[in-house]
Structure 1
Amino acid sequence: MNSLEWRVTASLAAIYAVRMLGLFMILPVFALYAETLPDSTPFLAGLAIGIYGLSQAVFQIPLGILSDKVGRKPVIIGGLLIFAAGSVVAALAQSMWLIVIGRMIQGMGAVAAPTMALAADLIREEHRIRTMGVIGLTIGVSFMLGMILGPIVSQVGGVPSIFWLTMLLALLGIVLVMFVIPTPARTLQHRDAGIIKGYLGIALGNTALLRMNAGVFILHLVMTANFLVLPTLFTHELGLPTAEHWKIYLPVFIGSFLLSIPLIILAEKQRKIRPLLLGSTTALIAAELLMAVGHAQISWLLLAFGLFFIGFNFLEAVQPSLVAKYSDVNTKGTAMGIFSSSQFLGIFAGGSLGGMVNHTWGATGVFLFSAVIVGLWLLVALQLPQPTFYTSKLLRLDPLLFSDPQRLHAELLAVSGVKEVALAVDECIAYLKVEKAILDQTALDAFSPPSA
């Protein structure tokens, strides 16, 4: 990539991280903060955490489609302004209900889809997958940083300071959009990076994709529910002050991340992704059961906590890969948009349902509830078909070839290693799925214009 593309990638990744960092910094501290508010209940504490996911899921697809019509930058700037406004409401709130409202407003600033589409507008097709990978990596880094920084920031200025910080980060994102990121010459619908209204029905009719949507929904449901009770356990049962919770999070996150890397490599390189997905899901059930029966003992709690995040990190990495594998070349971007919305709905369900369970049955009930929910997902995952391990590829085409699209489609499909073809006339691009081991790259290059 050239310097402009790296600048665009870094800036868009930073914008994407703004929202995620704010969400993740709240997770490890909010349950304890909620205990200090006069109108707080376990349900309202869960609702305050989860309602962000509901409004995010509701607005994500419509704002992505809107950005196709009015442009990416206006939608992203408007979304970041809404996110900043919600942060201010939550920072100034003196009651749980006002925090719920502030969190709901934060989620309405759903700029993920327009951000991805802007990246596709500005990055050349041969580098687009790398840009998406960098943005995806940013989410993982934001999670680890947020969980570690949340207790530290709240110790310095209280939980409201986290909301003020997220407001400032949102304003910084607006500055990047206005003055650092160039305006694309034209706005296009990108099948690999955008949500296309006409493909929503197709993506929702794919049973394998529906199972993956259920998987990410449940994964984030149990993660959110766990953090309704884990911070209070660390403080009340283990006697660890909030500011020192990072001493648990840091080694667990780094250790589980390092242990999950070999599993991710094995899943992709050795094509063991389905059995390892089932194994990781089973590990989540074991972790939840272990936390349910042993959360009063620090050794058992930390062991279960680490086991949970080994499984979580693996599933967080491979589930998007499976969505790409199960979707066809036309519906990949739309399928990813639905998948992302399912993730945020899981956060909402984890907060609201977890809050109700915690109110009635306490921490043990939350962990047992999570084990049952993951068990249901395991039954669903058993029906997943064996995925194909094809690679997505974008090919710039000579515009003259589009004089006969049907012939062009047939000739591309006849190239050794090409398994799926979709032509985008407006972009002069072919979206392909290829088997790299047998791909005839020379024959494929012959379809590109001489200057490409």
Structure 2
Amino acid sequence: MRAIVYAIIFFSFFDLFTQLPIITPLAGSVGATPFLTGLAVGMYSLSNMIGNVASGFLTDKKGPFRLLMAGLLLTGGSLLLYHLAANAYILLIVRFIHGCTAGLIMPAAFTFIANTSENNKKGKHAAISGAFIGVAAITGPAFSGILASRTSEVTVFTVTAACMFLLGALAFIFLRTAHLSPKSSVRQTERPVRELFKTPSVVKAFSGAFFLMFSQGVLAYMLPLKVAELGSDTKTSGMLLSTFGIIAVLIFILPTNRLFDRIKPIRLLVFGMSLMGVSLLLISMGGSLSILYLFMALYGTGFAFLFPSINTLLIESTTDQNRGKAYGYFYAFFSIGVVAGSSITGMLQLTANGGFVFTGCLLLIIAILLLIVKGSIELRKNA
């Protein structure tokens, strides 16, 4: 049963990562200007945030199963709409619909995993989920790049749509017996959304999600520039990104994933964010491609400790009645982080090295602040 949800998580992120190499050429093929091309790229993230937040509220009201079914079937349908994108403006509409529908899936999927996980294995299950995301990050761009070069960009979306429809059928067959609908008492115990933002652990999880993806946005923007400075091409950038993904996946699936249930998540969060910050500073100083592989492996290690820790923090700080909303905002912060990372460093007109230094220092500052807050909370408890 849980394997189906892991497959849904994989293909949801696979859908995201397959878009990266093909949206720009697809926009160009329908006559989009540079401005409209940039808008088409960003439109998905914008509408995805709307879908995430809506999914969170609906998951708590209707249960994760219904949202998973709706998300899979609607996303499959929205992917087929790319066949109708005859010009840039229709493409923008399709991108908006695609982002909204795809945003319904992740909060429901992670709520399903959290609500069906044993208390002493929540960190491990979060790590396994991270492994599927890592594999999607490695395989998605390569798959779409190869298939689009041999056929067309629209074919990639059609294949992904078929996968979504198939997952929808499997989910209907195997997950409806675990139909996790909210009980009637839920409506009596509902609390305002602002209560989530008053819970320190939830705010830390949201902060971790935002800055994790902020660094990803900077990495996607600045790494190709850094590689170009060293005299190499985009193929090398892809291999470097794959290195970080492979290291993260190994930590997620090897016995190291037991650490996520043995060590407090806030400690893993601070450790992972600090490691990512240090690795970005080292990347800025890297003078050869070979040393960049080592630094990207270090970044992947930090990522591997950060992602499960923020998931575990969120799970431990929420209940079955408000976990859907929490995951809705959690993945909205994911989307905001990606956009903020690339756009802020772009607005500041930073060089590749400058972007890595800025982001590395930012992550270290946030990690220190989280450590200080953790220490002050512990002092208050002991007082």
Measure how far apart 1:84 and its partner are.
3.0
Q: Is 1:298 matched with 2:289? A: yes
Superposed counterparts of 1:210-225, under 5 Å? 210-225=203-218
2:336 corresponding residue in structure 1: 345
How has the CA–CA distance of structure 1 residues 44 and 189 changed in structure 2, closer, same or farther, with 3 Å as cutoff? farther
Could you tell me whether the CA contact under 8 Å between 1:218 and 1:346 is conserved in 2?
Answer: yes
Measure how far apart 1:170 and its partner are.
1.8
1:361 corresponding residue in structure 2: 350
Equivalent pairs, count: 369
Superposed counterparts of 1:9-158, under 5 Å? 9-27=2-20, 29=21, 45=38, 48-67=40-59, 75-89=67-81, 101-109=93-101, 110-116=104-110, 134=125, 137-158=128-149
Could you tell me whether the CA contact under 8 Å between 1:89 and 1:101 is conserved in 2?
Answer: no
Q: Is 1:168 matched with 2:162? A: yes
2:181 corresponding residue in structure 1: 187
Measure how far apart 1:316 and its partner are.
0.8
Task: Give the Cα–Cα distance (whole angstroms) in 1 for the partners of residues 310 and 185 of structure 2.
Answer: 19
Name the amino acid aligned to 2:278: A
Measure how far apart 1:218 and its partner are.
0.9
Could you tell me whether the CA contact under 8 Å between 1:51 and 1:351 is conserved in 2?
Answer: no
Identical residues among aligned pairs (%): 19
Measure how far apart 1:376 and its partner are.
4.0
Task: Give the Cα–Cα distance (whole angstroms) in 1 for the partners of residues 180 and 276 of structure 2.
Answer: 45
Could you tell me whether the CA contact under 8 Å between 1:76 and 1:111 is conserved in 2?
Answer: yes
How has the CA–CA distance of structure 1 residues 292 and 98 changed in structure 2, closer, same or farther, with 3 Å as cutoff? farther
Q: Is 1:282 matched with 2:274? A: yes
The Cα offsets for residues 245-272 of structure 1, whole Å up to 9 and x where unpaired, read as: 6644454433355468687655653x46
> Which is richer in helix?
2
TM-score (norm 1): 0.65
Could you tell me whether the CA contact under 8 Å between 1:211 and 1:381 is conserved in 2?
Answer: yes
Q: Is 1:312 matched with 2:303? A: yes
Could you tell me whether the CA contact under 8 Å between 1:76 and 1:114 is conserved in 2?
Answer: yes
How has the CA–CA distance of structure 1 residues 213 and 283 changed in structure 2, closer, same or farther, with 3 Å as cutoff? same
Measure how far apart 1:293 and its partner are.
3.6
How has the CA–CA distance of structure 1 residues 76 and 233 changed in structure 2, closer, same or farther, with 3 Å as cutoff? same
Which is greater in Rg? 1
- Bigger RCO (CA 8 Å, 6+ sep): 2
Task: Give the Cα–Cα distance (whole angstroms) in 2 for the partners of residues 318 and 106 of structure 1.
Answer: 29
How has the CA–CA distance of structure 1 residues 299 and 234 changed in structure 2, closer, same or farther, with 3 Å as cutoff? same
The alignment partner of 2:46 has SS state of helix
> Which is richer in strand?
1
Root mean square deviation of aligned Cα: 4.4
Task: Give the Cα–Cα distance (whole angstroms) in 2 for the partners of residues 40 and 371 of structure 1.
Answer: 34
The alignment partner of 1:383 has SS state of helix
How has the CA–CA distance of structure 1 residues 351 and 162 changed in structure 2, closer, same or farther, with 3 Å as cutoff? farther
Task: Give the Cα–Cα distance (whole angstroms) in 1 for the partners of residues 306 and 61 of structure 2.
Answer: 34
Measure how far apart 1:226 and its partner are.
1.0
Could you tell me whether the CA contact under 8 Å between 2:276 and 2:360 is conserved in 1?
Answer: yes
How has the CA–CA distance of structure 1 residues 303 and 114 changed in structure 2, closer, same or farther, with 3 Å as cutoff? closer
Name the amino acid aligned to 2:176: P
Could you tell me whether the CA contact under 8 Å between 1:34 and 1:96 is conserved in 2?
Answer: no
Task: Give the Cα–Cα distance (whole angstroms) in 1 for the partners of residues 51 and 195 of structure 2.
Answer: 20
How has the CA–CA distance of structure 1 residues 16 and 285 changed in structure 2, closer, same or farther, with 3 Å as cutoff? closer
The Cα offsets for residues 314-357 of structure 1, whole Å up to 9 and x where unpaired, read as: 11122222334455787556544433332233233235435545
Task: Give the Cα–Cα distance (whole angstroms) in 2 for the partners of residues 278 and 42 of structure 1.
Answer: 38
1:204 corresponding residue in structure 2: 197
Could you tell me whether the CA contact under 8 Å between 1:43 and 1:356 is conserved in 2?
Answer: no
How has the CA–CA distance of structure 1 residues 30 and 278 changed in structure 2, closer, same or farther, with 3 Å as cutoff? farther
How has the CA–CA distance of structure 1 residues 369 and 12 changed in structure 2, closer, same or farther, with 3 Å as cutoff? same
Measure how far apart 1:282 and its partner are.
2.6
Q: Is 1:374 matched with 2:363? A: yes
More divergent stretch after superposition (107-116 vs 34-43): 34-43
Identify unmatched segments of 5+ residues in structure 2. 378-383
Could you tell me whether the CA contact under 8 Å between 1:13 and 1:134 is conserved in 2?
Answer: no
Could you tell me whether the CA contact under 8 Å between 1:289 and 1:367 is conserved in 2?
Answer: yes
The alignment partner of 1:16 has SS state of helix
Name the amino acid aligned to 2:296: F
TM-score (norm 2): 0.74
Name the amino acid aligned to 2:369: V
Could you tell me whether the CA contact under 8 Å between 1:287 and 1:305 is conserved in 2?
Answer: yes
The Cα offsets for residues 144-187 of structure 1, whole Å up to 9 and x where unpaired, read as: 33323412431232482443332222222222234444366782
Could you tell me whether the CA contact under 8 Å between 2:56 and 2:327 is conserved in 1?
Answer: no
